[in-house]
Structures are given as C-alpha cells and as structure tokens.
C-alpha cells in the first residue's frame, strides 16, 4: 500500500514518490501523473491513492492506472521524431487524428510519452521518452530550456521588425500570465535573427525560453507577419538533422549526455575540480623559481671534552 508523507520529525518514508514511478514508467510527464493521482485514476495494491505525497516500492507494489498494470522500466529511452503537419503531440486522440506516438514503433515495446507540445500545424523536433525527471526539466518554465524554431513569414523583415518581435513577445507573455492569474515572473525576450530573405517571404530563427501555445504565431500575425511555416529545429543543445519528416530515431549516447548536462547543470559542475586559467598571451614570463636556501649546519650543543 502507498505510504503517505510523515512529519518533519519522523524518519524519511521508505520508497519512491508515486508520481515519479509513473513518469519513469512512461505513463506521462510528472505533473500530468500528479493530476492522474489526485483525480483517482491510480491504484496501489488495489487501493485508490488520491493524496500526495505518496511513496511506493516499485519492485514489490502493484500499481495500476485506470485498471492497467504499470510496468516499471529500468531502461531510459529517448526518441527524436520529425513531426509532420496536422499531427497531435499526444498519446491518443478521441477524434482519431494522427499522433506522434503512432509514428514510433520501438522494438522494446516500452511505453513512451511526448515531451512538451508543438501545435497541430507546426512541424519539427518532438521528443518521446520514458524518463519523467528529464521530461520535467525540459518542459517546466522554471528551468527555461531553450526551444529553437525556423519560422517562414510573409513579406520582408528588417531589424526594426526584429526588435518589435522581441518586445511584443515579452508583453504577450505578461498578458498571458495576468489572464491565467499566474504570479508575474520576469519574461525573457526571445532571441531572433534573420536567416534568409527571399521575394515575398523571410525566414527567421527564434529561440524561446518558455514556449507558450501558439504565442509565437499570434505575435507575428499581430505585427503583420503571418506565419507560412513553423518548424522546431532545436531543444537545448539538441538539433533536428538527418531525419526526414514522419521518421524517428533514438538519440545517440552523446546527444543524451549533452541533453542531460543542459537539463541538470548542477550535477555536471558539482564536485568538478576547478581548472586554473591559462596565463594571458601578453603576460610577462615569470622568472624561474630559485632553489630553497639550505640552512648551514648547526654547531653541536655539546661542549668539547
């Protein structure tokens, strides 16, 4: 049975947080798993669990979501998908529309969930994984993981328009927070640069620290630059390359390491020895160190006989 949290004076409860076990098993991202628990969708050893925090033994407790057993996975998988247009970033859709999870048929049979979102008409990089902790780091606004997009807009764009995009995006984020009753937080202006100019259209590269639903499309439309095509090309250090639309592949070991280093910077720097900075190129050379002076032999304290 799931164990509830103990008081501050009690010893730490045994086991692992239930929402973490669910997320690591590929049920959903951790925040979505918390909602499933609170809504009564989760049973542990036949008992519905609604209160958090709750702790379980993933190797011995029987955990079910809507009556389906949760298989605890010990292998972390991370899949890159090149999402086509008119495809949902979701596990399934009641209307029968195609989803990104239907694109991937991994031989392991592991349950994978999509990380974050990308709107129905956009294309590009989407990640599927069964690592709830990493997914939380990649998607929660608190961590500010960069998402990079190539956006084709109608008409010419100059540097003054680029400045207007940055300014308008910050205002739109603040208004969105106010409308949702969210405590106002500092909104970082997006990085925007012009990639290509062609007759009748311009390609921009836009990097956001917090990607909100359709916000970029709405900002550009308001400024008279309607979006013709929007493609996500990067998440943190990861780049979409060598993958056709509608195809998928596992991340390489180096890609996973780079992604985790970006998501957990404290883990990569903690305990690392500090490297001494090399001397400046124009710094004068130090003279060679002198050998230590030798002490002269001390006279004997004994009196001659």
Catalytic positions, written as ranges: 119
Q: Is 53 exposed, middle or buried (0-12, 13-18, 19+ CB in 10 A)?
A: middle
Distance between CA atoms of residues 48 and 204, nearest Å: 50
Q: Report which DSSP code applies to 196.
A: E
Evaluate whether 20 touches 63 at the Cβ level (below 8 Å). no
What region, left, alpha or beta, does residue 17 occupy, with left being phi > 0 and alpha being psi -120 to 50 degrees? beta
State the CB neighbour count (10 A cutoff) for residue 215. 17
Residue 196's nearest CA partner among 252, 242, 157 is 157
Per-residue exposure over 56-69, b if at least 16 CB sit within 10 Å of its own CB, e if not: bebeebebebeeee
Evaluate whether 265 touches 144 at the Cβ level (below 8 Å). no
Quote the tokens at residue 259: 């992604």
Longest dimension (CA), the chain: 114
């Amino acid at each position: 049975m799931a164990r509830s949290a103990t008081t501050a004076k009690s010893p730490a409860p045994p086991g692992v947080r239930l929402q973490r076990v669910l997320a690591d098993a590929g049920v959903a991202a951790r925040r979505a798993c918390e909602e499933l628990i609170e809504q009564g969708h989760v049973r542990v050893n036949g008992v519905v669990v609604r209160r958090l925090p709750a702790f379980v033994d993933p190797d011995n407790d029987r955990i079910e979501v809507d009556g389906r057993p949760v298989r605890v996975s010990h292998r972390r998988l991370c899949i890159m998908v090149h999402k086509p247009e008119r495809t949902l970033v979701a596990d399934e859709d009641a209307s029968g529309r195609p989803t990104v999870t239907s694109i991937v048929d991994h031989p392991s049979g592991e349950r994978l969930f999509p990380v974050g979102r990308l709107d129905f008409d956009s294309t590009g990089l989407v990640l599927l994984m069964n690592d709830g902790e990493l997914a939380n780091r990649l998607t929660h606004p608190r961590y500010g993981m960069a998402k990079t997009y190539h956006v084709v807009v109608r008409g010419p764009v100059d540097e003054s328009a680029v400045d207007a995009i940055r300014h308008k995006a910050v205002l739109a984020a603040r208004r969105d927070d106010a409308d949702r009753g969210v405590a106002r937080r500092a909104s970082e202006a997006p990085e925007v640069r012009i990639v290509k100019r062609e007759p009748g259209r311009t390609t921009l590269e836009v990097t956001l620290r917090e990607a909100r639903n359709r916000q970029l499309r709405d900002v550009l439309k308001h400024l008279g630059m309607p979006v013709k095509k929007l493609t996500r090309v990067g998440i943190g250090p990861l780049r979409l390359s060598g993958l056709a639309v509608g195809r998928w592949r596992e991340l390489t070991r180096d890609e996973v390491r780079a992604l985790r280093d970006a998501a957990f910077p404290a883990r990569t720097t903690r305990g690392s020895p500090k490297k001494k900075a090399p001397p400046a190129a124009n710094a004068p050379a130090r003279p060679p160190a002198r050998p230590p002076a030798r002490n002269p032999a001390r006279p004997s304290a004994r009196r001659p006989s």
